[in-house]
A and B are shown apart, each in its own frame.
Chain A
Amino acid sequence: MREQDTAAVRADRLRHALVDCAAGRQTGIDAILDSEGGQLLGVARRLLGRHDLAEEALQDAMVQVWRKAAQFDAQTGSARGWVYAILRNRCLNILRDSKRLSVLSPTDLATLQEHRQQVVPTEGWEILAGQSRLRDCLHGLDGQSRHAILLAHVAGFSHAEISTRQDVPLGTIKSLIRRGLLALKECLS
């Protein structure tokens, strides 16, 4: 990522890159990777814990970006949010595809799960939200809702996995997350 670029310049470049992709120009993909590639790979690495899986996810995600670029509508949100959502979705599909993960050895699988469990600390979670309005709003949530939301978004855990990890019934976890998100959105708006 080029730190010196302002957010507006970078947003503009990404929008143009998606237009290029939609028109079949591969320079669009180069521009996205040049601007966001390292950060995108970092997100995949944090979710998947392994460099090979992270690269696979990013490669698949870029193919999806290429295929879907014509559907991107700048009226609905930022190009950046759209690209990261596609990557996250691809990572979650890998995490939830037991067939895909069955090629890993039991040791590798254990390492992967161990890694994911350490992604969201109970103490010092603030580092995950940077200096943002989001961080202030997450502060306002009760600890259990906040932790569940972070486990889902940052570590990619499902409702069932969060329920097991927190030792809280599935229905309770679902309502904790729903209530937390409602409060979060109210604070953010």
Chain B
Amino acid sequence: MTDDAQTINALADEYVLGLLSPSEDMLFDALLTHDPALARQIGSLRDRMLPLDLSATPAPLPSDFPARVRGSLPTQDQGSPVAPPNAANRPNAPKNWVPRLIAASLVGAVVGFSGAGLRQAPTPTVVAVLVDANGVPQAVIDDYGNDTANVRFVADIAVPPDRTLQVWTLPSPEMGATSLGTLDRAAATELHFSDLPDPGAQQLYEVTLEPLGGSPTGRPTGPIIGKGFAASQI
């Protein structure tokens, strides 16, 4: 077993126990939808740990509780059927590099190494997992402060030739959305910018699809590819 596979296995156990950080947790959720074997491993440990949940003393539900829950249910979206979970096992399975990217992101987030591992990468000040409107992770931002950040993509994002991806953050309501850089394709990129305050927890990051060369107004104008809030790492 490779080191990365071992790390993913160990993370799977910690995922069941509830020990992953929120950003790792979201990436793991995304990975599970692509990796049926890992999902079975998780399901198996989860079921075996279930006696711990069943030992809690039951608490009677208030009589109006089911009605309250029913009142808060959104309409089921029947328009976007979820891909069968076993899709990856089919002979004509689509390219499997998306789960590999997610796994690589997870391993990177945990061991804090990049490149060949000759030097230990600095710890980012914050990490944000950017999700689309359905909550599916699209990209991960590591913001190191000192006007440097990395963006990695964990989904298959097609960028038309006449469009540019643009990375944004909202350092404060007063400053408004501020560009961290533009990309012509969804590839891991180191971003350098200037004169932004060091990032903080709960800071908003997003990636939008803009006209070629970037937003003409200096503010996001195009559709949002993904957005998410930062989690502090220090």
Among B48, B57, B66, B68, which residue has its beta carbon within 8 angstroms of that of A46?
B57
Q: Mark A17-61, 1 if CB is under 8 A from B, else 0.
A: 000011110100110011001110111111000010011001100
Closest chain B residue, CB of each to CB of A45: B59
A44 cross-chain contacts in B, Cβ below 8 A: 59
Does B36 lie at the interface of the complex (its beta carbon under 8 Å from any beta carbon of A)?
Answer: yes
- B76 at the A/B interface (Cβ < 8 Å)? yes
Chain A residues closer than 8 Å to B42, beta-carbon distance: 76-77
Nearest CB of chain A from residue B34's CB, rounded to whole Å = 12
Contact present for A135 and B51 (CB under 8 Å):
yes
When the two chains form their complex, are residues B19 and A158 in contact, meaning their CB atoms are under 8 A apart?
A: yes
Do A29 and B69 have beta carbons less than 8 Å apart? yes
Which among A41, A76, A82, A185 has the highest number of chain B CB atoms within 10 Å?
Answer: A76
Is A84 in contact with B70, judged by CB distance below 8 angstroms? no
Complex-state Cα separation, A158 to B54, whole angstroms: 21
Given contacts A41-B58, A152-B17, contact A63 B44 (CB under 8 A): no
Q: Given contacts A29-B66, A76-B36, are A42 and B51 in contact (CB under 8 A)?
A: no
- Please tell me if the beta carbons of A33 and B58 are within 8 angstroms of each other in the complex: no
B188 interfacial by beta-carbon distance below 8 Å: no
Contact with A along B22-53 (1 / 0, CB 8 A): 10010000000100100110111111111111
Task: List A residues 153-171 near B (Cβ within 8 Å).
Answer: 153-154, 156, 158-159
B66-A30 in contact (CB<8A): yes
Complex partner residue of A39 from B36, B58, B86, CB under 8 angstroms: B58
Residues of B within 8 A of A41 (CB): 58-61
Of the candidate stretches A101-109, A110-118, A124-132, the one touching chain B is A124-132
Question: Is B56 close to A, CB under 8 A?
Answer: yes
Contact A159 B50 (CB under 8 A): no
A141 an interface residue at 8 Å Cβ cutoff?
no
Q: Do the beta carbons of A89 and B40 come within 8 Å of each other?
A: no
* Interface: B78 (CB within 8 A): yes
Contact of B65 among A21, A55, A177 (CB under 8 A): A55
The CA-CA distance from A132 to B68 in the complex, in Å, is: 35
B94 on the interface (CB 8 Å rule)? no
Chain B residue at smallest Cβ distance from A66 = B73
| Residue of B with least CB distance to A99 | B202
* Residues 66 to 102 of chain B near chain A (Cβ within 8 Å): 66, 68-70, 72-76, 78, 81-82, 85-86
A137, B104: Cα distance in complex, Å? 33
A87 CB to nearest B CB, Å: 8
Closest CB in chain A relative to B7 CB, distance in Å: 10
Contact B13 A178 (CB under 8 A): yes
Q: Is there contact, CB below 8 Å, between B17 and A129?
A: no
Q: Are B58 and A81 in contact (CB under 8 A)?
A: no
**CB of B62 closer than 8 Å to a CB of A:** yes
Q: Are B55 and A78 in contact (CB under 8 A)?
A: no
A152 → chain B closest CB, angstroms: 5
- Sample of 14 more A-B contacts, CB < 8 Å, known A24-B75, A89-B25: A26-B73, A29-B70, A30-B70, A33-B65, A43-B53, A54-B59, A62-B73, A66-B73, A75-B85, A77-B39, A81-B50, A84-B50, A133-B48, A150-B52
Q: Which 6 A-B pairs have the closest CB atoms?
A: A77-B43, A24-B76, A38-B58, A76-B43, A42-B56, A132-B51
